[in-house]
Amino acid sequence: MAREAAVSREKSAGNGAGDGAQRQHSLPDKDTCQAVLSKMMLIRRFEERAGEMYAKAKIGGFLHLCIGEEATVVGSTQAMRDSDYLLSTYREHGQAIARGTHPNAVMAELFGRVDGCSNGRGGSMHLFDIERRFLGGYGIVGGSLPLSAGVALACDYQGTDDAVVCMFGDGATNQGTFGESMNMAALWKLPVVFMVINNQFGMGTALERHSAVTDLSKKAEGYGVPGSRCDGMDVLDVHSATTEALRKAREDREPQLLEAVTYRFRGHSMADPEEYRTKDEVEEWRRRDPIASFSKRLAEEGVFSEEDIEKLDQKAVSTVDEAVQFADNSPFPELDSLYDDLYVLGEQVKSRGWWSVDERSPEPHRGEEEREAGRLPHELAEAGAAYAGVGEAQERKRRQRQAADDDEPAADPRDVEGGGD
């Protein structure tokens, strides 16, 4: 039964009207081919290494890998302008890298270090890079949908020709935010492309078991948002479809729903036992591996030799090696910075309540007053960190020695340099 369902899904993915399965796209110029292949290879190698680092307990929390979805990620982001905005799901390491965030910063974020793109505060599911207009991954299913509509409204309000690409999974099409966002985007004619990455499963639930309509490109028609499909395993088809969808959203002010039919070769997360699908099903999809397929075509058409392709792959491996070393050498955030950069502090909201509370000492205090709380909370925090084996041991010892000599806690170097903001 599982195999029959898998075959049914693959047939629907390959035979749907306008899904890109029957379209053959010409190769772009050599430099573009190299850029596209290199990005897909880098994302694949990065994700593989991230999985290894998770198994070694270098990465905490959850880890969701996009292995198998590289063509969808790279094809769509290649179609975007630098000034366009991207919001994604929590499976977003590849999106950050494709938009230009350095792999060092992404790996450091996975490690929870200060040199990460979210300063070690977001982890795997909450990468962010404002300089490249990557406005984050979101741990809540469908969480990026209304935010994307809001960013698109800002683009329209400011009179720019910037557009927004919002990526989400097939499971998110069943969330209430899906219909609400589609309705508002159509009503206000917002420049946004909603890209549903249909990797066939909402966590461990197959598409045909969680959605009455399995052609997800049709799920927004009733809200006034036209849809189309592309082959998410073909980087050129994804690029072509996204380019057209962005043109309509940008020039015609007609929001679009684009379904990329793809597959993830690994589980929903590193904690997924994958008992809901067979090895045969995964192998069927692996035959359509987007990197292998694109590499084979480049070799057959004489764009690159097998040796050239191997060199690109080795370069990706070296880049990931460097990223792991960089992340390992980056320090953990200071415990004193726990309450830095909170959205609501003190007098910003007129209330008798405390929005952030530190209870590490016998006398709880406002979180924003942590730096002035005295020695006891710091000593307790340091003791807890030492017991848990986190933080930089040498730095802890240095601060403990200094605290023993001074009446006040050691000054945070960021205060000297102008604050931690």
pLDDT at 360 over 50: yes
How high does pLDDT run on average in the chain? Answer: 86
- Domains of the chain with CATH codes: 2-329 (3.40.50.970), 335-413 (no CATH)
Instruction: Give me the residue label for tokens 């057209």.
Output: 244
User: In terms of pLDDT, which residue wins out, 397 or 174?
Assistant: 174
User: In terms of pLDDT, which residue wins out, 404 or 33?
Assistant: 33
pLDDT at 341 over 80: no
pLDDT at 343 over 80: no
pLDDT at 162 over 60: yes
pLDDT at 317 over 60: yes
Mean pLDDT over residues 97-117, rounded? 97
Q: What is the CA radius of gyration of the chain?
A: 24
What residues have CB less than 8 Å from 104, skipping those under 6 apart? 115, 322, 323, 326, 327
Return the half-sphere exposure (C-beta side, CA atoms, 13 A cut-off) of residue 94: 30
User: In terms of pLDDT, which residue wins out, 335 or 70?
Assistant: 70
pLDDT of residue 347: 63
Which of 303, 376, 305, 378 shows the shortest CA–CA distance to 337?
A: 378
pLDDT of residue 7: 41
Residue 79 CA from chain centroid, whole number: 18
Mean pLDDT over residues 33-56, rounded? 97
Say if CB 194 and CB 164 are below 8 A apart.
Answer: no
Helices (H), 100-200: 103-110, 144-157, 176-188
| Beta strands at 357-358 and 365-366: parallel, antiparallel or unpaired | antiparallel
Q: Where are the beta strands (DSSP E) in 56-163?
A: 85-87
| Paired tokens of 263 | 């597959």
